[in-house]
Structures are given as structure tokens and as C-alpha cells.
Structure 1
Amino acid sequence: MRADRVRGHLDGLLMAVLEQGPLHGYAIITAVQQRSGGVLDLRTGTIYPALNKLERLGLLTSSWESVGERRRRCYQLTDAGRRSLAEERTAWREFTTAIGSVLTPGAEPRSAT
């Protein structure tokens, strides 16, 4: 899938895979790929700026972990991140319902609230 189709949803995707617990960057990429059935293939150049932004916003924290001789940064959701993820999910459901109503022939029109 083209990277531009993920734009605008990347933060929610990253927070969703971190909901189960801390992961390092490559594990985050792998989790997104697995949970999407291989459709979403994120690149490191895409996720690290987003992870850094989410950390600056207080939605994630990170810490260094040593594995043998290697060190890797692990990311974890904060309480604010969990609240933000819940908001992302609500917005996503509203968005997909509205788009589905337009794209699906014979769908019931939605009223604006």
C-alpha cells in the first residue's frame, strides 16, 4: 500500500500496536505488518520521526534496552497516549462510517451532528 494512504493515520497505528506493551522500532514495524496481513509495510524513515513526535507530545515514553551487545530504544504508551488512542478509534469509526455511506450504493444517509 502506498505510504500516502497511511498518512494521517500513522500515529493511531503506532499507538495501537504499542497498546499491548513496549516494543522497539523494528518490532513496531513487524507488528503493523502482521496485524495488517502484510498490506502495510512501514519504513524506519517513516516511523521514527512519528515516534519521536508522539514522545514529545507525551503520548509515548521510551527507554534504552540492551540485548547482548546491542542497544535498542523501546517505546511505551503513556496514560495520555491511551486516551489519545481511544479518541483516534472513535474518529476512525466516524470517518469510515461516513465514507462507507458515500461509497456504498443504497446506504442510509447520515445526519450531521
Structure 2
Amino acid sequence: MASPNASPERLSPDLVRGSLDLMALATLAEGPAYGLAVQQRLRAASGGLVEANPGTLYPLLHRLEADGLIAADWRTEEGRRRKWYALTAAGRGKLTDRAAQWYAYAEMVRGLLEPAVGPPVLAPKPA
């Protein structure tokens, strides 16, 4: 059995599912991107812990677009036609609101977990 402080190779899909929209909005706060670039940003930002497969990511992006949180347009670059996504003002507001909720939630969960399993032991970040 792994230690509760062991670093996982990937996060549980159940954990990711509840926050993937927030993570996608955060990656688009960096600037517009097409779907594969959003996927790559998520992987890089999570240190490989989050792997959003296309069957999950593209419906999520379409839902965020339908909700007016992101806007999309088609662009052709290097001979490839791709749908690019950009954060809207409504999306930035939702990102800010949801981030505040997420921080409060994470702090509450941490308060519950630390007495049960101890504080997290974080691996040092590469230089």
C-alpha cells in the first residue's frame, strides 16, 4: 500500500472531473489555444498528473463555449485548420469566482485530511 503522502503518477479521474472546467479556463487565461494546446498546457501545468483525453476535453470546451465562458474561431496556421479558444470576460469572471470557491474547498479538505494522515510531503520542484 502506498503512503498517503506518495506522489501519484496521475490524479484520480473523480478528483479531476470536478475541477477540469476550472483548469481549462485557467489554461486559457494564459492566452488563446486550440484543443491540443489546451491538453498540453494542462499536462505541463500539472506535472503530468492531469491527462485530459480528447473525449473528455472537447465536449468540455464545447460546453464552455455554449455557456459563453470561452469564444472560438477557426484559424489556418501552417496549413492546418484548427478551432482556437479564448477566454471571454464572463469566463474570466467565472474563473475568478470558481478559484475562490476552490481555494476555500481545498483548505477545508486539507483541514480534514491532516489530522487523519498528516501534512503532505511535497516533492521538490525541479530547478
Query: TM-score if structure 1 supplies the norm length?
Result: 0.89
The CA deviation at 1:3 is 2.4
* 5+ long unaligned stretches in structure 2: 1-9, 119-127
Matched-pair identity in %: 36
Give the structure, 1 or 2, with the largest relative contact order (CA under 8 Å, sep 6 or more). 2
Q: Secondary structure at the match of 1:105?
A: helix
Query: After the TM superposition, which residues 30-109 of structure 1 pair with which residues of structure 2 at under 5 Å, given as runs?
Result: 30-105=40-115
Distance across 1 between alignment mates of 2:15 and 2:112: 19
Distance across 2 between alignment mates of 1:5 and 1:46: 14
Distance across 2 between alignment mates of 1:24 and 1:99: 33
Deviations, residues 41-83 of structure 1 (Å, cap 9, x unaligned): 1111111000000000000000001023210000000000000
Query: TM-score if structure 2 supplies the norm length?
Result: 0.80
Q: CA RMSD in A?
A: 1.5
Q: How many residues align?
A: 107
